[in-house]
Amino acid sequence: MAKVLVWYDDGCPLCRREIAVMRRLDRRDAIEFLDVDRSDEACPIDRAALLSRFHARENGQILSGAAAFAAMWRAIPMLRPLGLVARNRFVLAGLEKLYGRFLKVRPRLQRALGATTVPGRSTK
């Protein structure tokens, strides 16, 4: 099975912390984490779009938001049940609503953690 590809912003302290947790949980090395600014992997998504929402590729399909998180969870045995439940369209819709709320507070969280840029407006 192909690895799940996850794009993230290494310049964002919040993103770095979250990806560090996921790397520790990914004991099977089933996920490839790609820094948006350092990846040689040809990315089919505009950089600004990558920085504005969480994106992943699972089985060749590009996913964003809650669906991308669910794909990452499915690749980690401990989180797999949550990722499988998220395949239900109603559960995924609820998770997407929560993710939308998170996106509204994310800039404040990033500033609190020392970020110097806002997603989609990085100076890198």
Q: What is the reported pLDDT for 15?
A: 87
Residue 28 has pLDDT above 50, yes or no: yes
Do residues 18 and 12 touch, judged by C-beta distance below 8 A? no
The pLDDT confidence band at residue 59, using thresholds 50, 70 and 90, is: very high
Rg (CA), the chain: 14
Lateral strand order in the sheet of 55-58: 31-35, 4-8, 55-58, 61-64
Q: What is the mean pLDDT of the chain?
A: 87
- Report pTM: 0.84
Residue 40 has pLDDT above 70, yes or no: no
Q: What is the reported pLDDT for 44?
A: 78
Residue 50 has pLDDT above 90, yes or no: no
Q: Is the dihedral of CA 27, 59, 96, 51 positive or negative?
A: positive
Would you give the distance in Å from CA 20 to the centre of its chain?
A: 12
Interatomic CA distance for residues 110 and 91, integer angstroms? 27
Closest by CA to 103, choosing from 67, 68, 52, is 52
Interatomic CA distance for residues 40 and 4, integer angstroms? 16
Q: What is the reported pLDDT for 124?
A: 34
Interatomic CA distance for residues 45 and 69, integer angstroms? 17
